[in-house]
Structure 1
Amino acid sequence: MKLIDITQPLRKNMEVWPGDTPFSLRPSMQISDGSSVNVAEVTMSTHTGTHIDAPFHVNQEGETIDTLPLDYFTGEAVVIDLTGKNIITPEDVSSAVLKGVKKVLFKTAANETGHSYSAFPQVASELAVKLKEAGVHLIGVDFPSVDPLESKELRAHHELNKAGIVILEGLNLFGVKPGYYELTAFPLRLSHGDGSPVRAVLKEMKR
């Protein structure tokens, strides 16, 4: 079965959340300078590129990234194409499509460059109830955040967390067809972490 990488590449000058730590990859040892190995130093936020938000990200009492069950990050997922939508609502998901699927990924970007951090869709907080009723425990989006850039209440984050749904943000779903896949998107095991970059991969499957 074909593997599809749906991860943003971590690279110099990539866009990050306004005010967040810029990404950098700086050599600390180089064979070209006489060292026996190449080693680099990485600096970045835990919410750089394609990443998981732990509940602790928005709730001081929430679960941290290292305590979340591993089955959240692997298993059958459905990709739903909502290209061009500005807000994802309960009406955009069908119970028949979600039946038996615990992970749902929303494709909204119309081009390969994806969404800017200054203009991207949002998730209606009411969607959390519908997803919980369907047994979903992970939502993935191809934009930077399930809440608007200027939001202080972070209603979608809080409602999804309350429903027991983990948030996967910053996916690259351009060119991915709607349908069912096997998702793998494990975070780093960061003790007391509020989130973590992931390598998100889909494997085509027949249902």
Structure 2
Amino acid sequence: MHIEEFLKFMGDVKMYDLTQRLSIHTPPWPSYMPLQIQYFKRIAGAHMGQGANGQIIKTSNHVGTHMDGEIHFYPNGRTIGDTPLDFWVGPGVVVDISQDVGDYDLYTPEMLMKNVEIKEGDILIINTGYHRYAWDQQEADEIRYFVKHPGPGPKFDEWALDMKIKWIGVDCGSADHPMNTIIAQWHPKLFKQAEQKLIEKYGVKDWEEMFPTEEYYQIMHLKLFPKGLIHAENVGGDIEKLSNQRVWIGCFPLRGIELESSMCRIIALAPPDGK
């Protein structure tokens, strides 16, 4: 393809935003500091300034769409700013399993692969359908979004490594099942609901039988980050428009050399119609 053809092609590509809207009302991951925005000067001169608006932002890195970096759980890993630029972009797929999962359910590699081709080295975005419970949606439900969302079943982490998945994005509160995190202790009544569903659906005696704590506690964080497989949480935006499509995906976090994680913008590029 000649340079002129390439530039014309890129000018016609369709761009999709997979980022959740960000506001002081956006809930952080449970127990984390929320976003705070304060004006320190205003155009009219309030707050000891004039001629321009200026703001101070104070927040944790885990509000809205954000990328968990390796050092979020692995001190010897790469920071967000030390991760090469080409890690954040590349070919990938948006897999829609929203019709297959509900509260507390488990998803499997087979569930994903039946819907669309997933290639080795892909960026993998998983649409569980739970973005519809995000804070700014008509069905907003903070408990369902953070505490009841589906999560990966046993050995999902091993499959992701075998596939050399570049990074993962999920449209809910965590890439781990919420009941394999500290949330299980914070919401004991809801943990019992999740455990009962697991018992009825899979015939196990309790949660521990399928997910031994020593092996599965925050496995998508604790076991994968040291191996370089990280993930973005709270993906949303135009995700429904890309169900089961292969696209080019880019994540754009801050280039902070100390950052353990970062709020970010995630976009997807699809070819022009007919190409």
Common fold: TM-score over 0.5: yes
* Among 116, 127, 132, the residue aligned to 1:112: 132
Q: Establish whether residue 52 from structure 1 lines up as the match of residue 71 from structure 2.
A: no
* Among 15, 21, 32, the residue aligned to 1:20: 32
Q: Which residue of 1 aligns with 2:112?
A: 93
SS in 1 for 2:255: coil
Which letter maps to 1:26? Q
Alpha carbons of structure 1 residues 55 and 111: separation in structure 2 relative to 1, 3 Å: closer
Tell me how far apart the structure 2 counterparts of residues 128 and 163 of structure 1 sit (CA, whole Å): 11
Question: Conserved in 2, the CA contact under 8 Å of 1:111 and 1:174?
Answer: no
Tell me how far apart the structure 2 counterparts of residues 163 and 94 of structure 1 sit (CA, whole Å): 23
Q: Establish whether residue 147 from structure 1 lines up as the match of residue 176 from structure 2.
A: yes
Which letter maps to 1:116? Y
Q: Which residue of 1 aligns with 2:153?
A: 124
Answer with 173-182 or 9-18: which moved more: 173-182
Question: Conserved in 2, the CA contact under 8 Å of 1:132 and 1:164?
Answer: no
Question: Conserved in 1, the CA contact under 8 Å of 2:44 and 2:51?
Answer: no
Structure 1's unaligned 5+ residue stretches are none
Which letter maps to 2:124? V
Per the TM alignment, residue 41 of structure 1 is displaced from its structure 2 partner at its CA by: 1.1
Which letter maps to 1:104? L
Greater Rg by CA: 2
Per the TM alignment, residue 30 of structure 1 is displaced from its structure 2 partner at its CA by: 1.1
SS in 1 for 2:86: helix
* Among 265, 268, 271, the residue aligned to 1:199: 265
Question: Conserved in 2, the CA contact under 8 Å of 1:30 and 1:38?
Answer: yes
Tell me how far apart the structure 2 counterparts of residues 47 and 169 of structure 1 sit (CA, whole Å): 8
Tell me how far apart the structure 2 counterparts of residues 52 and 98 of structure 1 sit (CA, whole Å): 21
Answer with 1-10 or 111-120: which moved more: 111-120
1:182-203 deviations in Å (ceiling 9; x for gaps): 1111211122211001111111
**TM-score after normalising by structure 2:** 0.68
| Percent of aligned pairs with the same amino acid | 24
Q: Which residue of 1 aligns with 2:185?
A: none
Question: Conserved in 2, the CA contact under 8 Å of 1:125 and 1:160?
Answer: no
Q: Which residue of 2 aligns with 1:170?
A: 234
Tell me how far apart the structure 2 counterparts of residues 33 and 118 of structure 1 sit (CA, whole Å): 45
Tell me how far apart the structure 1 counterparts of residues 88 and 62 of structure 2 sit (CA, whole Å): 16
Q: Which residue of 2 aligns with 1:159?
A: 223
Answer with 128-137 or 165-174: which moved more: 128-137
Q: Which residue of 1 aligns with 2:255?
A: 189
More helix, by proportion: 2
* Among 79, 84, 88, the residue aligned to 1:73: 88
1:71-113 deviations in Å (ceiling 9; x for gaps): 2211111011010522222222339812255201100115634
Answer with 62-71 or 47-56: which moved more: 62-71
Question: Conserved in 1, the CA contact under 8 Å of 2:92 and 2:122?
Answer: yes
Tell me how far apart the structure 2 counterparts of residues 125 and 32 of structure 1 sit (CA, whole Å): 59
**TM-score after normalising by structure 1:** 0.88
Tell me how far apart the structure 1 counterparts of residues 58 and 219 of structure 2 sit (CA, whole Å): 29
Q: Aligned pair count?
A: 207
Tell me how far apart the structure 2 counterparts of residues 33 and 174 of structure 1 sit (CA, whole Å): 44
1:133-189 deviations in Å (ceiling 9; x for gaps): 223111111011112445153112123324431211110024432201111112111
